[in-house]
Structure 1
Amino acid sequence: MSWGDKGRQLKHKLMQVDWYLYFGLLFLLSVLATITWSGLKLHEILNDADALPIEAIAIKGDRQFTSDEEIQQALQSLMQRSFFNADVLTVQQALENLPWVYKASVRREWPAKFKVTLQEQQAVAHWNGEAWLNVHGEVFNALAKPEVASLPMLSGPDDMAEEVLTNFIQLDELLKINGFQLASLHLSPRHAWQAELANGIKIELGREDKMSRMQRFINVYPTLIQSEKTLARVDLRYDTGVAVGWDDTNKRTDNK
């Protein structure tokens, strides 16, 4: 075979290789284009609220102070989304921003339903006049409700709310077993404690030995009420003894 024939054969093989490469690249590009188009269409469908709407939202949890209107307003952004692209965390945060909601959970349920579970705040006391304390000693702000108007009045620095609540519970238990009821407890900026009973008697407890000082009040109370005057104030900030203030405008009552 001559060199010319070998050259023509080699050229023919190279042309075959080029055609294979060309068709291979064309096939690969067509596959990539199909995948890209399919992904775009899928994304469009998943984000289309009309194509995959949220058909139902189930609200669970005991509610006393959170209205249906407040929940509907918080869920507006959710209802404008499709089932798949709704931002669950954003909706959960919107619900937890409602004044009387302590915790919310939101989850999808196939094929087109959302389940919302709400846990309301459990207020145990007024805090600094307008706010509230929950059972965890956390401060929260919400409009007053008649059902919780009679809760005890606690006050003090916000960063010590949990401590104030703990001390209130301890003092109230001591007083209750002796026939008294604690109505309010205040912690001053200098960490001095002042209490007030349900019968209006104000008690200065100072900064230390709150429990023992309150026990001292309980011990001397029978002697104090022997007076015809109304007991108004008892100062227990002494190592021994007490200082007493009387309300001369009213006669004594036996209501504790």
Structure 2
Amino acid sequence: MLASRRNARRRAPESLGERLKTLMPRIQSGFSTLLSVSAMLALAAVVYLGVEALRKLPVERIVVTGKLEHLRQDALRDAMSDELDQGLLFLSLADLQVTLEALPWVYSAELRRRFPDTLEVSVVEQLPIARWGDEAFLNHEARIIEVTDRERWRSLPEIRGPMGSEARLMNHYQRLLERLRPLALTPISLSEDDYGQLVVGLDNGVQLQLGDHDFSLRLQRFLQLWSSDLQEADRVVQRVDMRYDGGAAVAFDQTPRLAGLTENTQGR
């Protein structure tokens, strides 16, 4: 009987306070979890609303920098207009760069976002430095470029050669320009035929034939020949052929002297 009473006391129900004390850690843990989830949802909502607000930010201003001589700013804006609807944040600057650099006269383009509403565009124009054949033009990297108002550039030096030889011939031309400058000579044309024969036209009317090999060596020999013998020659030099291993063939223009003789004969 005594044992039964003891067991009954042991199985007596817990008080409300004791139950709350037991459940409180669980309640606090659940409440903390609920707060964390609510905070995360609130943060996600704020981020979403922020992104949506940024997505709707239009490009209100386009600022174009760089020295523009042939490009029009409105042409640049027109080229980008189809992509500006994406808004400032989601614009693909890489795609816009490709679009702009495909335009005539554009050598390079860089773009930057300036929040809240500005797109900065920095452009470097490319300029032709030589004519390539009858219609095309070359820039300083020997790339064929498109130009407008071709007549304006007719005074540029002319380079002609097989397709694919642009870079090599441009390199030859640059070397000619540099080496001939001390002699007050300027190359105005450089051509290479199908057999690789190089012919240079100089601004004083002389035609210089350099052949198909030993470019540097033959050019150096011409510089020496011109300095020592031809620069002060009493006859007008018409053509200098440097394709000879041991020397050069020089053709002189006899027309002025013959004309003078004819006039003197008529006067007698």
TM over 0.5: yes
Q: Which residue of 125, 129, 144 corresponds with 1:140?
A: 144
Provide the residue aligned with 1:225 in structure 2.
236
Contact 2:187 2:202 in 1 (8 A): yes
Provide the residue aligned with 2:106 in structure 1.
101
1:70 aligns with 2:78: no
Q: Which has the larger radius of gyration?
A: 2
Contact 1:155 1:186 in 2 (8 A): yes
- 1:67-99 Cα offsets, whole Å, 9 max, x none, are 334212222145323233323232223222212
Query: What is the CA-CA distance between 1:54 and the residue it aligns to?
Result: 2.0
Greater fraction of residues in helix: 2
TM-score under structure 2 length normalisation = 0.72
Alignment of 1:1-256 (within 5 A): 2-5=9-12, 13-48=21-56, 52-135=57-140, 137-145=141-149, 146-156=151-161, 161-187=166-192, 192-198=197-203, 201-206=206-211, 207-208=213-214, 209-215=217-223, 218=226, 219-220=229-230, 222=233, 225=236, 231=238, 233-243=239-249, 251=255
Query: What is the CA-CA distance between 1:215 and the residue it aligns to?
Result: 2.4
Q: Secondary structure at the match of 2:243?
A: coil
Paired residues, number: 242
Please give the alpha-carbon distance, in whole angstroms, between the structure 2 residues aligned to 1:241 and 1:225: 19
TM-score under structure 1 length normalisation = 0.74
The 3 A distance-change label for structure 1 pair 65 and 21 is same
Query: What is the CA-CA distance between 1:185 and the residue it aligns to?
Result: 1.5
- 1:182-229 Cα offsets, whole Å, 9 max, x none, are 211135677653212346553320211132243266344737638xxx
Please give the alpha-carbon distance, in whole angstroms, between the structure 1 residues aligned to 2:224 and 2:134: 29
Contact 1:125 1:132 in 2 (8 A): yes
Q: Which runs of 5+ in 1 are unaligned?
A: none
Please give the alpha-carbon distance, in whole angstroms, between the structure 2 residues aligned to 1:141 and 1:171: 23
Please give the alpha-carbon distance, in whole angstroms, between the structure 2 residues aligned to 1:210 and 1:155: 20
In structure 2, what residue type is equivalent to 1:171? L
Contact 1:127 1:139 in 2 (8 A): no
- 1:147-184 Cα offsets, whole Å, 9 max, x none, are 32211112446766454334323323444554543211
Contact 2:136 2:146 in 1 (8 A): yes
Please give the alpha-carbon distance, in whole angstroms, between the structure 2 residues aligned to 1:3 and 1:189: 114
**TM-align CA RMSD:** 3.6
In structure 2, what residue type is equivalent to 1:3? R
The 3 A distance-change label for structure 1 pair 5 and 223 is farther
Query: What is the CA-CA distance between 1:128 and the residue it aligns to?
Result: 4.8
Q: Secondary structure at the match of 1:76?
A: helix
